[in-house]
């Protein structure tokens, strides 16, 4: 109740506080953020909040404009610079910022815009992939699935397309297509990216999955971690990592990288937990997710997979 009341007080007095700060610092709130906050998540999250709370009609229109582009996945290499320029010019004019007197502001603010709406577009792309069901009649899907097998089991040829061999890499039955039902093609793309970009780490994790006492279904756990990564993306928790790790517009690669980190770290977390059986999976995954969320609550957090594994 008190928190809600305090939020209302802050919202009511916010324009007054901003006016006082503008006249004492001779800078608008966005300038103070861009000059005062560290680059990455601290600065970008603060800019995002400032824009969201703005009551200025021009800024509200700009936000709708940028949201529409991101929601239609229309921010591309060809359109990005034009969109960024329009956003920067709108703020410069609206806030009466002299670009000659403040040459660093445009660059700093533009990077924040790139990250904020790149993240929003990434959410849309991941959701579209999740909604795309695995289709055994789609040659691209079939090739991607076979690629996963060849990456993880290069010395064991498949006897057939439908075979119990798929269980060797943690699928439930003879045909993996049914296991992608929840996460669609996104789950498969995550698994392939992990096996392709971090082959030694993926092999390391796969070997743990066949542990006689603490083993687990590699592919099924991987698909569950796709679901976890997507939750973190949707509710905004992943912004900390992605804003800190992305040097430019976040793409699907940013999501894949987050997934790889989660898979590699969960494997260690699972082994360290010494589960008595797979029935403990839900509780251990919940503890793992809570630890990840606690880390992401720190705006300086950036996850990096232990690359040294690839050199073992």
Instruction: Report which of 183, 172, 175 is spatially closest to residue 158, judged by C-alpha positions.
Output: 175
Q: Give per-residue burial for 61-100: e unless 16+ CB within 10 Å, then b.
A: ebbeebeebbeeeebeeeebeebbeebbebbbebbebeee
- Domain definitions of the chain by residue range: 2-130, 133-311
* Mean pLDDT for the stretch of residues 158-172: 95
Give the pLDDT mean for 240-268.
96
Name the residue with higher pLDDT: 17 or 79: 79
Amino acid 263: pLDDT = 97
| Token output for 192 | 């392939």
pLDDT value of residue 112: 96
What confidence score (pLDDT) does residue 100 get?
87
CA distance 295 to 301: 6
Contact 134, 185 (CB under 8 A): yes
pLDDT in tens, 269-305: 999 999 888 889 999 999 999 999 999 999 999 998 7
Q: Does residue 261 contact residue 197 with C-beta atoms inside 8 Å?
A: no
Write the DSSP string, 18-55: HHHHHHHHSS-HHHHHHHHSPTTHHHHHHHHHHHHH--
DSSP 175: -
pLDDT value of position 15: 57
pTM recorded for the entire structure = 0.90
Alpha carbon 308 to chain centroid, angstroms: 23
pLDDT over 90 percentage in the chain: 78
More confident residue, 156 or 4: 156
Q: Please tell me the predicted confidence (pLDDT) of residue 310.
A: 40
Residue 44 has pLDDT above 70, yes or no: yes
Would you put residue 56 in left (φ > 0), alpha (ψ -120 to 50) or beta? beta
pLDDT at residue 26 in the model: 56
Mean pLDDT score across all residues of the chain: 90
Rounded (to 5) percent helix, strand, coil in the chain? 70, 0, 30
């Amino acid at each position: 109740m008190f928190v809600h009341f305090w939020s209302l007080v802050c919202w009511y007095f916010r324009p007054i506080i901003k006016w006082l700060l503008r006249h004492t610092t001779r800078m608008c709130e966005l300038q103070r953020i861009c000059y005062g906050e560290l680059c990455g998540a601290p600065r970008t999250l603060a800019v995002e909040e400032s824009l969201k709370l703005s009551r200025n009609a021009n800024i509200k229109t700009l936000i709708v404009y940028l949201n529409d582009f991101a929601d239609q996945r229309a921010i591309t290499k060809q359109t990005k610079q034009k969109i960024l320029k329009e956003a920067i010019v709108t703020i410069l004019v609206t806030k009466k910022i002299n670009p000659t007197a403040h040459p660093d502001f445009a660059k700093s603010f533009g990077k924040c815009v790139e990250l904020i709406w790149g993240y929003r577009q990434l959410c849309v792309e991941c959701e579209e992939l999740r909604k795309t069901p695995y289709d055994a009649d789609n040659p691209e899907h079939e090739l991607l699935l076979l690629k996963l097998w060849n990456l993880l089991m290069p010395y064991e040829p498949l006897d057939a397309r439908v075979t119990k061999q798929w269980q060797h890499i943690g699928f439930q039955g003879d045909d993996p297509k049914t296991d992608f039902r929840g996460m669609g093609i996104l789950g498969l793309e995550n698994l392939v990216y992990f096996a392709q970009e971090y082959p030694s780490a993926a092999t390391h994790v796969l070997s743990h999955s066949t542990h006689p006492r603490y083993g687990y279904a590699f592919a099924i756990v991987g698909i569950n971690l796709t679901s976890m990564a997507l939750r973190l993306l949707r509710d905004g928790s992943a912004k900390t990592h992605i804003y800190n790790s992305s040097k430019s517009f976040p793409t699907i690669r940013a999501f894949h990288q987050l997934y790889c980190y989660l898979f590699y770290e969960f494997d260690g977390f699972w082994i360290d937990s010494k589960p008595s059986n797979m029935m403990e999976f839900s509780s251990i995954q919940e503890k793992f997710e809570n630890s990840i969320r606690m880390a992401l609550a720190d705006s300086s957090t950036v996850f990096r997979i232990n690359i040294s594994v690839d050199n073992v």
